[in-house]
Copies of this chain bind each other. A is one copy, B any other.
């Protein structure tokens, strides 16, 4: 019994996880439009039959994949904001999130867009984005009042999106100024 590479395939508990991760990779590379059972299977290194065995269909697979993505993004967001000790640090953390390289990679931009596109059409994915937004707002509400939190959340969304899509670079000072303004109640 030589220890070939493709051994111990049976009862591989990571199999399902690997498929989900591979699914996100395929979505980044080819878009939801170009994502198929075959491509994901190839990317994950599993046989085609495993797809239908582990998932009822592409919809279920996509739902789990984007759940994982949204959860990871929320975790990052909460961690960054949780580390802030006062409003000033919270604002700095928000600016860092907008201008930094955490949520602003090409991969994150693509996945977020694809998720919103799905959410725009299918309620199941809309629930996902709603939970994501709710967690963001809750994290912001640890430092700001609910109304400000909601505005700030929207501002973060818009600035991140525009910064990511724009070809010419934005400077961080504009983002900082915007955060400063939105968190300052009108007289």
Contacts and interface: CB of A to CB of B under 8 A. Distances in A.
Interface of A: 31-33, 106, 109-110, 113-114, 116-117, 119-121, 126, 129-130, 133, 147, 150-151, 153-159, 161-162, 164-167, 170, 174, 177-178, 180-182, 184-186
Given A178-B151, A181-B184, A120 B110 contact: yes
Given A110-B121, A116-B113, A151 B181 contact: yes
Say whether chain A's binding surface is mostly helix, strand, loop, or mixed. Answer: helix
A137 to B, nearest CB: 10
Contacts of A185: 181
Contact of A182 (B120, B150, B182): B182
A177 B147 contact: yes
A130 B166 contact: yes
Contacts of A180: 186
Nearest to A109: B120
A151 B151 CA distance: 13
Work out how many copies of this chain go into the complex. Answer: 2
A26 to B, nearest CB: 13
B120 A113 contact: yes
A32 to B, nearest CB: 6
Contacts of A120: 106, 109-110, 113-114, 164-165
B113 A165 contact: no
A102 B184 CA distance: 29
A1 B109 CA distance: 58
A161 B157 contact: yes
A50 to B, nearest CB: 23
